[in-house]
């Protein structure tokens, strides 16, 4: 290779590096706050379920700080943490709106719906919403056309992938129990995606419906040991009863697949889905754009940029399951 060719290649390489660096730098520079008087502070009302969802808000705070929005300096978070309950969302949201925030930030589908019902004027960014279009929060992902935008979890469309992950860990599982909350669109849609994939893979899905904790208990009592090879958790508010599924799976020594990392931490065998913290980080870009003056209706909603495969090794040992090496190589996080 001649010296001229070598120099030319080096210059091209440097140019490419500078291009991608400038794109990242440009985004962060464009999202930094405009200069305001010292007395002016951005006020963000936050409605969150708290508990396992706390990493979403932490991710938001961390990335906003990187963009230049620092709590105690130029941004204030007005918090309403419902601690996993959805019984008093309307009064909580009314309280937030009474505080006259510049915008709202919600975590979870029900909390986002509460914001939608309460205001059509205050800008809202949602995070961890299963299907914002079907929940009627936005018109489309590309053009929200409302006062809301945010990051969904794509829970329903990932249902088939979760089944595939389960079968990699437990290839002999041919009959699954799935408990569906019939009034929830995300639950119904997730089950449909699951059923489509199951048929292709030759797996039978036993559908049972429940809307309360007692009904979940009844379904589990009516599912004797040996009647199913695994339990598939359908995303819905029934997730608050995940401990019942974990207990049943361990008792019957069968796998339980879920969609949230926190559920795998509690004892489910495997989870595949978005990462709480990463969704918070991702949503911070949308919040920063609104604080800079953009309208939610002009900001496309997003799907998760990062998905995690989490395996609970202690649970695998407890149910007598030997995890294949090819799965261990793909796991993003092990719970021991």
pTM of full prediction above 0.85? no
Give residue-wise pLDDT tens across range 212-261: 999 999 999 999 999 999 999 998 877 778 999 999 999 999 999 999 99
Average pLDDT over residues 189-200: 94
- Shortest CA distance to 202 belongs to which of 229, 178, 230, 174? 174
| pLDDT value, residue 20 | 43
Q: Count other Cβ atoms within 10 Å, centred on residue 119.
A: 17
The answer to whether residue 4 scores a pLDDT higher than 90 is no
Give residue-wise pLDDT tens across range 248-300: 999 999 999 999 999 999 999 999 999 999 999 999 999 999 999 999 999 99
pLDDT-based confidence at residue 19 (cuts at 50, 70, 90): very low
Structural domains for the chain: 42-153+275-305 (3.40.50.2300), 159-274+308-335 (3.40.50.2300)
**HEC secondary structure over the chain:** CCHHHHHHHHHHHHHHHHHHHHHHHHHHHHHCCCCCCCCCCEEEEEEECCHHHHHHHHHHHHHHHHHCCCECCCEEEEEEECCCCCCCHHHHHHHHHHCCCCEEEEECHHHHHHHHHHCCCCCEEEEEECCCCCCCCCCCCCCCCCCEEEEECCCCCCHHHHHHHHHHHCCCCCEEEEEECCCCHHHHHHHHHHHHHHHHHCCEEEEEECCCHHHHHHHHHCCCCCCCCEEEECCCHHHHHHHHHHHHHHHHCCCEEECCHHHHHHCCCEEEEECHHHHHHHHHHHHHHHHCCCCHHHCCCECCCCEEEEEEHHHHHHCCCCCCHHHHHHCCEEEC
The answer to whether residue 14 scores a pLDDT higher than 70 is no
Give residue-wise pLDDT tens across range 45-71: 999 998 888 999 999 999 999 999 999
């Amino acid at each position: 290779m001649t010296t001229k060719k070598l120099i030319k290649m080096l210059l091209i390489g440097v140019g490419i590096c500078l291009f991608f660096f400038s794109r990242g730098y440009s985004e962060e520079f464009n999202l930094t706050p405009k200069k305001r008087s010292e007395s002016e502070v951005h006020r963000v009302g936050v409605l969150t379920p708290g508990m396992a969802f706390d990493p979403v808000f932490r991710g938001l705070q961390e990335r906003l700080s990187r963009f230049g929005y620092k709590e105690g300096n130029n941004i204030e978070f007005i918090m309403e943490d419902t601690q996993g309950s959805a019984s008093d969302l309307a009064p909580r949201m009314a309280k937030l709106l009474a505080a006259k925030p510049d915008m709202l930030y919600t975590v979870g589908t029900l909390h986002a719906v509460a914001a939608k019902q309460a205001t059509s004027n205050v800008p809202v960014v949602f995070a961890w919403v299963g299907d914002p279009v079907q929940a009627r929060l936005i018109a489309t992902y590309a053009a929200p056309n409302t006062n809301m935008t945010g990051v969904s979890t794509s829970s329903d469309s990932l249902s088939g992938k979760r089944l595939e992950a389960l079968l990699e860990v437990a290839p002999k599982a041919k009959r699954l129990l799935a408990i569906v909350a019939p009034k929830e669109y995300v639950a119904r849609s997730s089950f449909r995606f699951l059923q489509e994939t199951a048929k292709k893979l030759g797996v039978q899905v036993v559908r049972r419906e429940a809307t309360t904790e007692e009904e979940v208990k009844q379904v589990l009592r009516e599912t004797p040991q040996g009647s199913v090879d695994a339990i598939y958790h359908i995303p819905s508010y029934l997730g608050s009863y995940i401990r019942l599924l974990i207990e049943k799976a361990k008792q019957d020594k069968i796998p339980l697949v879920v969609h949230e990392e926190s559920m795998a931490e509690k004892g489910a065998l495997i989870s595949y889905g978005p990462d709480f913290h990463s969704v918070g980080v991702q949503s911070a870009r949308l919040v920063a754009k609104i604080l800079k003056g953009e309208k939610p209706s002009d900001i496309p909603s997003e799907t998760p940029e990062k998905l995690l495969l989490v395996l609970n090794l202690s649970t695998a040992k407890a149910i007598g399951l030997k995890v294949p090496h090819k799965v261990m190589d793909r796991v993003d996080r092990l719970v021991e």
